[in-house]
Structure 1
Amino acid sequence: MGRIENGVVVLPGDQFPCRMTAVRPRAEMNDGKDTMSFLESLWSIIVTFFFIAYLILLFQIISDLLRDKALGGGVKALWILCLFVAPFISALIYVIMRGKGMALRSEMRVRESVEEAENYIREVAGAPTPTQQIEAAKALLAAGDINEAENARLKEIALA
């Protein structure tokens, strides 16, 4: 097999003999620092929070860019390129320059979706439209079933 000369294992045909070293136990290798301190844990939580907040902001910006009909394709591509090249500064610039517009566009989308949902519910439920409610109130007034004050109140409810 091999022979040991001056603490070196020499194998037959081995041109480069290697010195044997003692293997240190695992506890000596990391000096007992397997756990994180409280401050390291707190710092990790804070960094993770800000990273997730940044990702949410980035997705909001990209979705706002892609949904904005006023911007052309080249401007959108330039903004997205800037977001990938210099992410933090370009996100900050975007929020400063177009933040108010982001809020308005978001509010418009929410209003449109609420209106669509209400229209769908009215359509499915068969609820009368405000115009139909006012016509029905006029018919009741003409028939003498309600007075003028009740007609006005029904008209206000229909228009609300």
Structure 2
Amino acid sequence: MDTPTYLAYDYPLLSMFWTMLWLFLWILWFILLFRIIGDIFRDDTMNGWGKGGWLAFVILLPFLGVLVYVIARGKAMGGREIEHARKKQQAFDAYVRETAGGDSRPSRAEELHRLSELRTRGDITEEEFQRAKGLVLNDDRPSTPAGTTPTGA
């Protein structure tokens, strides 16, 4: 057993700080590299040769390629990211509206049919039926379900 044993005091606090800093910087570097590569592929204004050239530059000379890319196309990169996020949000909103049924209210005929069924089952009285029928026919219904706010507000 001639192998040295490393204890906690063999690795001082400052060395641990520098190790964590370098690890953080490497993770940050890879995040930036992958965001730039994603932006190269996302850009619709650039043709295939331009994308291939930027991709080769960023992969073959990563530090210089990333620096030049951020200087040359950094401002437009943020705009493309915002536009991409906006399109994703619009697609999600459209999906939710489609799945939830959107802003469509039941028609008067459907509401009258439901009221008639409630009266037939005895859940509501004739007086309640006539009052609800009058509200449906006068279109005094709320435009949104109770407890929700209109989408325009």
Alignment of 1:85-96 (within 5 A): 85-96=60-71
Indicate whether 1:68 and 2:79 are aligned.
no
Partner of 1:127: 102
How far has the Cα of 1:76 moved from its partner?
A: 1.1
Q: Which runs of 4+ in 1 moved over 6 A?
A: 30-34
Partners of 2:151 and 2:3 lie apart in 1 by 79
Partner of 1:133: none
How far has the Cα of 1:44 moved from its partner?
A: 1.0
How far has the Cα of 1:32 moved from its partner?
A: 8.8
Partners of 1:39 and 1:158 lie apart in 2 by 55
Deviates more, 1:34-43 or 1:94-103: 34-43
Partners of 1:101 and 1:86 lie apart in 2 by 22
Q: How many residues align?
A: 113
Question: CA offsets per residue over residues 32-56 of structure 1, 9 Å max, x none?
Answer: 9993222222111111100000000
Which structure 2 residue ranges, 5 or more long, are not aligned? 105-134, 142-149
| Of 10, 14, 20, the match for 1:39 | 14
Structure showing greater Rg: 1
Normalization by structure 2: what TM-score?
0.62
| Of 39, 58, 70, the match for 2:33 | 58
Change (3 A) 1:127 1:39: same
**For the aligned residues, what is the CA RMSD?**
3.1
Please give the secondary structure, in 1, of the residue aligned with 2:10: coil
Partner of 2:122: none
More RCO (CA 8 Å, sep 6+)? 2
How far has the Cα of 1:113 moved from its partner?
A: 1.1
Partners of 1:108 and 1:48 lie apart in 2 by 32
Partners of 1:77 and 1:59 lie apart in 2 by 15
Change (3 A) 1:33 1:145: closer
Partners of 1:101 and 1:95 lie apart in 2 by 10
Partner of 2:118: none
Normalization by structure 1: what TM-score?
0.60
Partners of 2:9 and 2:55 lie apart in 1 by 42
Which structure 1 residue ranges, 5 or more long, are not aligned? 1-23, 130-139, 147-156
Please give the secondary structure, in 2, of the residue aligned with 1:26: coil
